[in-house]
C-alpha cells in the first residue's frame, strides 16, 4: 500500500500516512490515527501503524501513525499538544493526501491509548477513540495495581512521574490535568476501551474508571475487559470484530 512518510505541521509531530491501495476507491479516505505505546519514553508512536493499516486499509480506511514527543524531550502537556497538532493537520491539510480529515478516529495502545483518549477528549476533531489498556487516572494507578505488580507508578522514576517531571502524588493538579478522566464531558465522541484483566503495567481499573466517567457524562462507551490477557497484546486485538465494527461505524465505512 502507498505510504507517505514524515509529513506534519511545521515544527510539530511527524506522521506516516498509510493509504488504501487500488480497489478501495479513490478517496478521500477516512482516517484512523495510531500511536504506539512507549511508557511515554520514546517518540516512536508511528511504530506498528503498518500492522494497523494491514487490517484497515483494505476496508478503505487510511492510517496515520503519529510520533508524539517523549518525556525526555518535553514534559506534559507537550504530548497532549502534539496529539492536537496532528489532528489539526489532518483536519486542515488531509485533503492534500486524499484524506477526509473530518472523519477521524483516534487509536493507540498503552501510552498511545492515553494519547488517543486525550485527543478525543480535549479536541473536537475526532469521531471516536479506540484505546487499548490506556492510563487514564494517574493518581489512582498504584491503588488499582494488582497484587505483586512490580511497577510503582508513584515512584519518581515511573513513566508517569517522568511525564510530569515530578513524583505523581506530589503534583496532584498536574496529574489530574494529565489524566483523561479529568477531561470527560457531555458531547465527547464515543469510546471503545479494551483492557486485559491481568495487566500488571496499566491496571485494568484504569479503563474501568474512564468507562464509568464516560457513562456518567452520557457518552457512548463500550468497555471490554479481556480475561487472562495482560499488557502489550494490541496486535491480537486490532482485528477484533468489535474493533473493526466500531471504526467502520464511526467513520461511515460500509461493511462488506
What pLDDT, on a 0 to 100 scale, did the predictor assign at position 1?
79
What pLDDT, on a 0 to 100 scale, did the predictor assign at position 65?
98
Could you write out the DSSP letters of every residue in 56-110?
HGGGT-EEEEE-PPPTTT--TTHHHHHHHHHHHHHHHHGGGGTEEEEEEEEEEET
Nearest to 130 by CA among 238, 241, 2: 238
What is the model's pTM? Answer: 0.97
Q: Would you kindly state where each structural domain of the chain is located, as residue ranges?
A: 3-249
Distance CA 242, CA 11 (A): 36
Nearest to 19 by CA among 36, 35, 5: 5
CATH number of 3-249: 3.40.50.1820
What pLDDT, on a 0 to 100 scale, did the predictor assign at position 91?
98
Signed CA dihedral, 85, 87, 90, 92: sign only:
negative
In order along its 256 residues, the chain shows pLDDT tens digits of: 799 999 999 999 999 999 998 666 678 999 999 999 999 999 999 999 999 999 999 999 999 999 999 999 999 999 999 999 999 999 999 999 999 999 999 999 999 999 999 999 999 999 999 999 999 999 999 999 998 888 999 999 999 999 999 999 999 999 999 999 999 999 999 999 999 999 999 999 999 999 999 999 999 999 999 999 999 999 999 999 999 999 999 999 987 5
Q: What are phi and psi of 123, to 5 degrees?
A: -130, 170
What pLDDT, on a 0 to 100 scale, did the predictor assign at position 24?
63
- The angle subtended at Cα 234 by Cα 229 and Cα 240, nearest 5°, is 90
Q: What are phi and psi of 31, to 5 degrees?
A: -130, 140
3-7 and 15-18 beta bridge pairing: antiparallel
Amino acid at each position: 500500500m502507498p505510504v507517505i512518510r514524515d509529513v506534519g505541521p511545521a515544527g510539530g509531530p511527524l506522521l506516516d500516512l498509510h493509504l488504501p491501495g487500488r480497489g478501495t476507491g479513490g478517496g478521500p479516505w477516512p482516517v484512523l490515527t495510531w500511536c504506539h505505546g512507549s511508557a511515554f519514553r520514546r517518540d516512536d508512536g508511528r511504530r506498528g501503524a503498518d500492522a494497523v493499516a494491514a487490517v484497515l486499509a483494505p476496508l478503505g480506511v487510511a492510517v496515520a501513525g503519529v510520533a508524539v514527543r517523549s518525556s525526555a524531550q518535553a514534559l506534559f502537556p507537550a504530548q497532549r499538544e502534539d496529539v492536537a497538532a496532528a489532528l489539526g493537520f489532518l483536519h486542515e491539510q488531509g485533503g492534500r493526501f486524499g484524506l477526509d480529515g473530518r472523519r477521524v478516529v483516534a487509536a493507540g495502545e498503552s501510552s498511545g491509548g492515553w494519547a488517543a483518549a486525550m485527543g478525543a477528549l480535549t479536541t473536537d476533531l475526532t469521531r471516536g477513540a479506540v484505546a487499548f489498556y490506556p492510563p487514564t487516572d494517574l493518581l489512582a494507578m498504584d491503588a488499582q495495581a494488582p497484587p505483586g505488580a512490580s511497577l510503582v507508578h508513584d515512584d519518581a522514576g515511573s513513566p508517569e512521574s517522568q511525564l510530569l517531571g515530578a513524583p505523581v502524588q506530589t503534583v496532584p493538579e498536574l496529574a489530574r490535568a494529565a489524566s483523561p478522566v479529568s477531561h470527560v464531558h457531555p458531547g465527547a465522541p464515543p469510546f471503545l476501551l479494551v483492557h486485559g484483566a491481568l495487566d500488571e503495567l496499566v491496571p485494568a481499573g484504569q479503563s474501568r474508571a474512564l468507562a464509568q466517567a464516560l457513562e456518567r457524562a452520557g457518552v457512548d462507551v463500550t468497555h471490554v475487559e479481556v480475561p487472562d490477557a495482560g499488557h502489550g497484546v494490541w496486535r491480537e486485538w486490532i482485528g477484533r470484530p468489535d474493533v473493526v465494527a466500531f471504526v467502520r461505524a464511526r467513520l461511515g465505512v460500509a461493511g462488506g
